[in-house]
Chains A and B, each alone.
Chain A
Amino acid sequence: EDKVVQSPLSLVVHEGDTVTLNCSYEVTNFRSLLWYKQEKKAPTFLFMLTSSGIEKKSGRLSSILDKKELFSILNITATQTGDSAVYLCAVVVSGNTPLVFGKGTRLSVIA
């Protein structure tokens, strides 16, 4: 059975800290890995990763994929209170199978 595990489940940091969120997966026929940020409503798309070792970056957020060790990390530098959210990781597998989501990491950034 395809599985995506995120860690930690929750995290509390102070503004200005750097955080690393983890996503490991065990799936057959991996295609790509997606990161989403979910605040109070719908998840919003952050990154799509398909190749190992190539960092995707958007402002203070960056992410990288390791297809050999089957994991991805999402880094957030100089965290702000607006970064408080649940961060979801999902894996796309080939064939007509649905995305496999992890349970998410709840990040709380306190001033």
Chain B
Amino acid sequence: KAGVTQTPRYLIKTRGQQVTLSCSPISGHRSVSWYQQTPGQGLQFLFEYFSETQRNKGNFPGRFSGRQFSNSRSEMNVSTLELGDSALYLCASSSGDRVTDTQYFGPGTRLTVL
């Protein structure tokens, strides 16, 4: 069974630009969660999508948005990039069943904002 895939793996952008990151979950998984990880901050939850609907949202500004498609693939968009958005963005997929939920992470997209 293929794992979680994320594209692109690395990205360099300049301030003010926008970026779209993609995540394909494990086959059969319906939940996709996005996290931002920066040195010293740990994993910070961005949002979760389940069956094409945003189920949860973390405390990030509206510049961060996402969506999920009918095949469970998800995209995350960051508009008007700031230097502080430089981070590793991780996507995790799970079945969505809250009783036995285990999240499996993709390799991440490392975003550098110059």
Contact = CB atoms under 8 A, between A and B. Distances in A.
Contacts of B101: 31-32, 92
Size class of the A contact interface (CB-based, 8 Å): 20 to 34
B98 interface: yes
A7 B103 CA distance: 22
B55 interface: yes
Given A42-B90, A101-B42, A96 B103 contact: no
A42 B90 CA distance: 7
Nearest to B102: A48
Contacts of B58: 98
Interface string A27-55: 00001101010000111110010000000
A99 B99 contact: no
Interface of A: 31-32, 34, 36, 41-45, 48, 88, 90, 92, 94-99, 101-104
26 contacts: A31-B98, A31-B101, A34-B102, A36-B105, A41-B88, A41-B107, A42-B4, A42-B90, A42-B105, A42-B107, A42-B108, A43-B90, A43-B105, A44-B105, A45-B105, A48-B102, A88-B42, A90-B103, A92-B101, A95-B98, A96-B55, A98-B45, A98-B48, A98-B56, A98-B58, A104-B42
